Each structure stands twice: as C-alpha cells, then as structure tokens.
C-alpha cells in the first residue's frame, strides 16, 4: 500500500555524498555534484526581476522517502534521491543532458540502436525520474515507449513535480518489472533497458536466465537489450550476469570503468546484448570520450573475464551485492 505524501527533511551538509555509498554506485565526482546541489536552494528569477528560491520537494513513496533537489546553477535540473541515495538526474530544459555516467552509457545504446532520429519502440524496466525515456523522446521524436515502475507513489510524485512532455509517447505502467515484461508482446521493442534496483540492489528475480529469455522474446530481431549492473570485488555477480546473458544472446559487450573491471572498486557496468553483431567500435569510441572514460570488453576477452562462472537460474538467483559503506572514501 502506498504511503501518504509527506515532506522530506532538508539534507545536512554532505548528506547526499555519503548517501551515494548506498546508491547505484554513482561516481565520486557525481556524488560531489549531488552534494553541491543539496547544500543550497537554487536561485531563479522572479517577477519584476527579483529573486526567489527553488526549494527541494519530498514525499513518502512505497520504497521509503523520495526527494527532488534542484541544482544550484541550473534550477530546472533536478536530482532524485531515494532514502538519501542519488538515483537519477533530469534537466527539464535539456533532456539530452545526461549527468550520471551509467545513464550516459545507456544513452549511447539508445543512440546506436538505429540511425539518428529514427523513432524506436523502447521498454524501460525501472522508471526513476524517467531520465532515459525523456532522452529518447528528445533525440528520437515519435518514439513509442513503455516505462515499468513498481513504486506507484514514486511515479505520481515524479510526474506531478517533473511532468513528462504531453507530446511524448510515453506510457507508464505500475507493475513489477518482470510482470511488465511478461505482458509485453513478442518482438515489440527495438530496445529493452533494465535499470531496476530495490534500494541499492537488483532484485534476484531480475538476474536469471528465465528473465533474460523473456527479455529476448520482447526484443525484435536486430534489437538491443541493455542492463545497468553494479558489483565490486571479486565481481562474482557481474561475471555470473555475463554468462547468464551469453546463454540467451549470441552477441555481448560490457561497458565499465577500468577500475571496476579490474576489481579495484565497486561501480556500474552496462551489459549490452543482441542477436546480431554489436556496434562495438562506435560504442568504444563514445565510452572512451565520456568525462569519466570507460572501456568496452567483448568477444574472447569478455569470455575470459567471466572466469568459469555459471548461468544463474530462478532456483539459485540472488540479489546483486550491496555497495560497501566505504565505497567513496
């Protein structure tokens, strides 16, 4: 049952950066940026040339406490926090501006799914602040999109505070991600994006072979599946997810920062899969040119990276590991 809306406490100095340690493993630079945004109300122009403050807003949601905090320098840019952890960032003036590294890398997948500007059918498993749905609508007008988000109270809070463009063809469904996937017709999506977290962990039932078999059913021939994964040393979860995807899709690539791939720190990795060869060269170029450059592994190197891991099934699936409390120290 959804909790009633309530105001969230104003964050203490540095709270957001500390909370990032329990989030989707955003980078230290992004945690610092979120902290900067949370320390002050953002000024903006009022009537008659005056100044007024854009304050953060909060609400109780099914998953805990949600807070939307405006950026200091861009008052129409907002960071979404869930229980103090940064989850998404949205720039209402420029939806193509992706701040978090993992979102930027998923944006590359959307960009490479078809020639520029061509409308797509996109299924988003996990909604957050609808950052990537807004990005797709801006970069590929007339795209048809479905967003599946379990937290109905969060959906209402985000839609009321940061409304979607009414011209965008975005349908939001309040369902569990796997249930929403099961209800999607065969060969419906050009792209399926999985970015689902319960707190800071991907739920177990979204890590199995059975889940990915259903995802492949929904992806059209030649389409793309991409998932935001998080893990840290010894990378057991990440290796298992690669092998699980390889049991379903013949073509794979993994995008992550070198320190994550070497098992030196906890972080994000984007797994991309398809039934046709992937645009590895262009994906590599884009990932390397990002503000925090990443590496792309594929082919034999990716197979060797898995180190003998076995595919995950519903019977033995577990949630992804939680980030260690010192991940950004």
Mean pLDDT of the chain: 87
Per the CB < 8 A criterion, the answer to whether 19 and 8 are in contact is no
DSSP letter for 51, please. Answer: E
- What span, in angstroms and rounded, lies between the C-alpha atoms of 284 and 297? 9
Per-residue burial over 72-104, b if 16 or more Cβ lie within 10 Å, else e, is bebbebbbbbbbbbbbbbbbeeebebbbbbbbb
Q: How confident is the model at residue 229 (pLDDT cuts 50, 70, 90)?
A: very high
Q: Is the pLDDT of residue 53 over 70?
A: no
Give the pLDDT of residue 3. 32
For residue 27 the two structure tokens come to 């980078």
The CA-atom distances, in angstroms, between 19 and each of 24, 328, 329 are: 10, 10, 12
Q: Is the pLDDT of residue 274 over 50?
A: yes
Q: How confident is the model at residue 15 (pLDDT cuts 50, 70, 90)?
A: very low
Task: Name which residue leads in pLDDT, 32 or 101.
Answer: 101
Per the CB < 8 A criterion, the answer to whether 71 and 34 are in contact is no
Helix axes 101-112, 131-139, angle to 10 degrees: 40
Give the pLDDT of residue 11. 34
The reported pTM is 0.86
């Amino acid at each position: 049952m959804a909790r009633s809306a309530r105001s969230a406490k104003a964050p203490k100095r540095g709270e957001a950066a500390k909370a990032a340690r329990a989030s989707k493993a955003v980078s230290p630079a992004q945690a610092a940026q979120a902290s900067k945004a949370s320390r002050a109300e953002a000024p903006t122009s009022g009537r008659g040339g005056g100044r007024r403050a854009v304050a953060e807003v909060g609400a109780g949601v099914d998953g805990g406490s949600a807070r939307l905090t405006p950026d200091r320098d861009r008052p129409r840019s907002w960071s979404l926090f869930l229980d103090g952890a940064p989850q998404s960032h949205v720039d209402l003036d420029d939806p193509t501006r992706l701040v978090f590294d993992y979102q930027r890398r998923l944006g590359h997948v959307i960009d490479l799914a078809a020639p520029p500007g061509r409308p797509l059918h996109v299924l988003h498993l996990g909604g957050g602040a609808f950052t990537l749905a807004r990005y797709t609508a801006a970069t590929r007008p007339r795209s048809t999109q479905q967003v599946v988000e379990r937290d109905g109270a969060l959906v209402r809070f985000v839609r009321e505070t940061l409304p979607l463009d009414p011209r965008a063809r975005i349908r939001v469904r309040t369902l569990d991600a796997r249930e929403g996937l099961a209800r999607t017709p065969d060969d419906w999506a050009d792209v399926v994006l999985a970015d689902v977290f319960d707190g800071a962990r991907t739920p177990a039932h979204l890590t199995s072979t059975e889940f990915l078999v259903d995802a492949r059913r929904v992806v059209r021939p030649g389409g793309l599946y991409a998932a935001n994964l998080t893990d840290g040393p010894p990378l057991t979860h990440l290796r298992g997810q690669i092998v699980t995807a390889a049991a379903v899709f013949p073509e794979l690539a993994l995008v992550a920062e070198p320190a994550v791939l070497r098992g030196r720190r906890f972080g994000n990795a984007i797994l991309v899969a398809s039934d046709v060869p992937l645009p590895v060269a262009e994906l590599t170029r884009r990932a390397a040119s990002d503000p925090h450059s990443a590496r792309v592994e594929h082919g034999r190197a990716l197979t060797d990276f898995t180190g003998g891991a076995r595919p995950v099934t519903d019977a033995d699936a577990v949630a992804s590991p939680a980030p260690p409390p010192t991940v950004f120290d």
